[in-house]
Amino acid sequence: MLVGTAFLSACNIEKTENMNPFLTEYNTPFGVPPFDLIENEHFIPAFEEGMKLQQAEIDAIVNNNDPATFENTIEALDISGEVLHKVNGVFFRLRSAETNDELDSIARVIMPKLTAHNSSISLNQELFKRVNELYANKESMGLNEEQAMVLKKTFRGFVRGGANLKGEAKERIKEIDKKLSMLTMQFGDNLLKETNNYQLVIENETDLAGLPESVRSAASDAARAAGKEGLWVFTLQKPSWIPFLQYAENRELREDIYSAMFMRSNNGNEYDNNKLITEILELRIERANLLGYETHAAYVLEERMAKEAENVYDLLMQVWDPALEKAKEEAAMMQKMIDRDGGNFQLASWDWWYYAEKIRKEKYALDEEEVRSYFSLEAVKTGLFDVVNKLYGLTFEPRKDLPVYNEEVMPYEVKESDGSHLGIIYMDFHPRPGKRGGAWSTSIRRAHVKEGEKVTPVHLIVMNFTRPTGDKPALLSFDEALTFFHEFGHALHSMLTKCEYLTVSGTSVATDFVELPSQIMENWCAHPEVLKTYAKHYQTGEVIPDELIAKLEAASKFNQGFVTVEYIAASILDMDFHTLKDAGGINANEFEEASMKRIGLIDEIIPRYKSNYFQHIFAGGYSAGYYSYMWSEVLDKDAFNAFVETSLFDQATSTSFRENILEKGGSKEEMEMYVNFRGAEPTIDALLKGRGLN
């Protein structure tokens, strides 16, 4: 996808409008995006035309002389912007999974325009007047349950967007939104560039001591790709730096790569995020104040299950104390091993992964490389498909005929048990320079009903799994297998929705509820009964032996102090930032240090995400919400017990979960959906037990 500097010129815009794939019906199976036809030069004209068309639709709603009704106002608003949805669904997915300098340039041009366009809708006084009138008369309108929720969320969206503001305050909200869109985008761009800029190049093979052959082979492949034939290259992609920390005997090199990881965008260079953090926090506080909230967290949590910051801190601290105690025990165990082996140093954060792996081997006789041999990508995928088929009757058919944005991407058609089409899932598995780190699941097109016909979903799952090396297929760590099941749970939420309206379709739920459908899937991934159906040796086809399953189970609670502490530390850091009432002149490093000192974080552990690369909260949708994974874990552990109490694939239970959770989208209050499935609200007990902290 190439483009020259002329993509901004008016003549080019005029030229491409006649052939722009976004501006016509997609002539593809199931209406998936024609990635093979889309060029970078198509995006700006499509965005501009999409905004123009949606504005015309908004004007038609506002200028309608008929009295406001659900159909001519709320429904019309919900379905508006079809072209904009199409281009959004492609552009921002590519910006995360397949970006380049041209796309980055386009984003800098289009983001202010897009933000201004969205503000013009959310702050349209005449439009809000019609919505407000309907909301005031909601009880007498005869709406069904989903329509009532769509009306409620639409009304709240306007109010929370600033529709009740007047004069200068309303103009200031527009300005803040525009600035925030640019700052958060820059934060993510800086992080990606900083991540890609680092390489640990090893010339002397003795520096590879301790590394398994598969890790060496991957580093050799990376060196070859970087034009450094005969050397070994390690990067800040997780499949590269984590194995290095686990196995490399060279402590100085472990410190080198780990320090590079946690110092990303904190080096005083052009990709430094310190100034951006301060500006983002200041603007978020100002925005919250304008809307009548004391803090950004108060603004965010009003729409979450937690409701108040106090409830978030309460949950996190209930788990923090036993987790920290466990982490201290783990640190002492590691220090004892260091001393026993003649190491003349104190355990540091860059040592933790190495000694955790040594203890895992010594105490549980569990070898990560042995485990990987039973978790080839294809085996895990087969097992996942089998689990979903047993639960919900779904099948997955590879569709190599569908266009893709990268040759590595695999599309699948999802079908119901009767063979009817349900949707399309694209899967993108391995790291690339243009792909941001981590794993995520996102909609390209959300399910809804248009003119009485169901529009089926198109979904994308993106991971950064270990690549195939030499003659070996992609062999996943057990954590990567869990990640695959997790992200697929989000896709199921998107696929199985039966909502008619985009406002509540699929994953359009509170952030601290959205992780329930994803995290519950991890329970099947790790269950011994399920493991024996899919975990097979990539060479021999041997089913994972009972002895190895027993080791996995025994080791499952090992290192949970570390895992839990690093996560909660990041969650508390997020909350501390976003409960600030004034962020003027804040220094992110000093603030983080004080925050971690307050809760007693030990020196041997750092937060899972330090401030300058905390993309979830400064360039994603998790500000004042990173706690959501633990809030949802309370739900998922309790929900999975419903299956344990019956059977792993009990049809009545899976049908109830599908009908009360997955199909409902955001059409009900989240706790009401949960209680309808489980019969009662959850407690924290199952979470503590699952992590071995009780």
- Mean pLDDT, contiguous 10-residue spans, the chain (694 residues): 34 54 96 97 98 98 97 98 97 95 95 95 96 97 97 97 94 96 96 96 97 93 94 96 96 98 97 98 98 98 96 96 96 97 96 95 89 97 98 98 97 98 98 92 97 96 92 94 98 98 97 96 97 97 96 90 97 98 95 98 98 96 96 95 96 98 97 97 88 83
Residues 160 and 202 grouped into a single domain = no
Out of 146, 487, 515, 522, which one is annotated catalytic?
487
Q: How far is CA 682 from the centre of its chain?
A: 24
Buried b / exposed e over 337-371, threshold 16 CB at 10 Å, is ebeeeeeeeebebbbbbbbbbbbbeeebebebeeb
Task: Give me the CATH number covering residue 13.
Answer: 1.10.1370.40
- Residue 248 inside a domain? The answer is yes
Question: Closest by alpha carbon to 395, among 380, 378, 414, 372?
Answer: 414
Q: Give yes or no for a contact between 531 and 665, defined as CB atoms under 8 angstroms apart.
A: no
Q: Are residues 124 and 52 in the same domain?
A: yes
Q: With contact defined as beta carbons under 8 Å apart, do 516 and 681 qualify? A: no
Domain termination site, one of 262, 279, 314: 262
Q: Give the helix/strand (H/E) hosting 440.
A: strand 440-445
| Structural domain of 227 | 198-262
Buried b / exposed e along 208-228 (16+ C-beta atoms within 10 A): bebbbebbbbbbbbbbeeeeb
**Shared domain check, 223 and 76:** no
**Among 475, 491, 502, 667, residue whose Cα is nearest residue 81:** 502
Q: How far is it, in rounded angstroms, from Cα 642 to Cα 407?
A: 41
Residue where a domain terminates, one of 164, 180, 209 = 164
Contacts of 317 (CB under 8 A, 6+ apart): none
Instruction: Decide if 533 is inside a domain.
Output: no
> Same structural domain for residues 109 and 242?
no
Smallest Cα–Cα separation from 368: which of 189, 239, 539? 239
Judge whether 142 lies within some domain.
yes
Q: Are residues 11 and 157 in the same domain?
A: yes
Q: State which H helix or E strand residue 118 sits in.
A: helix 101-122
Residues 13 and 148 in one domain: yes
- 21 and 160 in a single domain? The answer is yes
In a domain, 137, yes or no: yes
What pLDDT score does 307 carry?
Answer: 96
Long-range contacts of 654-660 (CB under 8 A, 24+ apart): 654/391, 654/392, 657/520, 658/391, 658/392, 658/496
Residues 124 and 41 in one domain: yes
Q: Which sign does the torsion angle of CA 568, 573, 574, 580 carry?
A: positive
* 360 closest CA partner among 336, 334, 327: 334
Contact indicator for 640, 520 with CB cutoff of 8 Å? yes
pTM: 0.92
- Report if residue 17 sits inside a domain: yes
Total of domains in the chain: 2
**Based on the domain organization, do 159 and 203 belong to the same domain?**
no
152 and 39 in a single domain? The answer is yes
Structural domain contains residue 214: yes
Q: Which amino acid is at 592?
A: E
DSSP per residue, 357-408: HHHHHHHH---HHHHHTTBBHHHHHHHHHHHHHHHH--EEEE-TTS--SSTT
Domain contains 391: no
From 527, 529, 530, select the one nearest 556 (Cα to Cα).
527
pLDDT at 685: 87
| Cα 58 from Cα 331, distance rounded (Å) | 59
- Would you say residue 207 lies in a domain? yes
659 carries an active-site annotation: no
Mark whether 123 and 13 lie in a shared domain: yes
Domain check: are 155 and 39 in the same one? yes
Where is the domain boundary, 164, 190, 221? 164
